[in-house]
Amino acid sequence: MSFVLIVISYLIGSVPFSRIFPSVLKKRDVQREGTGNVGASNALIVAGKRAGLLALLGDTGKGIVVVLAARYFGSPDWAVAACALAAIIGHDFSIFLRFQGGKGVATFGGTLIALDPFFTVLVVLLWIFVMLVTRYFIPSTILVICFVPVLMWMGSWRGEYIIFGVINAALGIWAHRANLLLFFSGRELTIQETLAKHFKK
């Protein structure tokens, strides 16, 4: 049963809401426009607030659903963590997009919400603080994602979830590798510069 749930979690994670909503609502292709990323932020850039919000809800919802489903069927902790990871992998390497996809941040957030809402609030507050200090969106996001398994360890989470956090951090670094190269070469845009670039009238 656990293996079946993991496969289903991957398929659910593979549903590309961030591509579907811009296409349906505005007939825009996020893979060819904006940043080219199949994620909620690019859906917002390419197709506007409505598409961006729906994409965010869809991508986050995938993470919530797979964790709740795994727990509903009485899965052990290792299987719950595996389902959460499978959904993120599905988002990053969607079978419906020839194994291309987004960067997994919203879906990871959804898994955290389902695992522990209070912990998620703390992570979001930390993320906001780091962004205010660094003024960079992607580096701040990666830094916080990498710190999540440390926070889990400090909070005495079970080992299965800490391993999940570590693997997700590795996936996050890989998915954002181009942005990190830009940052270390001094070419990554600040949050203010990014907003000015994509939303200028």
Calculate mean pLDDT across residues 100-120.
96
Domain residue extents for the chain: 2-199
- Residue 97 · residue 19 · CB < 8 Å: yes
Report the interhelical angle of 117-134 vs 105-115 (nearest 10°).
140
Listed residue (149, 172, 169, 155) closest to 102, CA to CA: 172
Does residue 99 surpass a pLDDT of 60?
yes
116-150 per-position pLDDT tens digit: 999 999 999 999 999 999 998 889 999 999 999 99
Calculate mean pLDDT across residues 42-63.
93
Q: How many CB atoms lie within 10 A of CB 76?
A: 11
Distance CA 123, CA 148 (A): 7
Distance CA 13, CA 104 (A): 9
169-183 per-position pLDDT tens digit: 999 999 999 889 988
The reported pTM is: 0.93
**What confidence score (pLDDT) does residue 162 get?**
97
Distance CA 167, CA 173 (A): 10
Does residue 102 surpass a pLDDT of 80?
yes
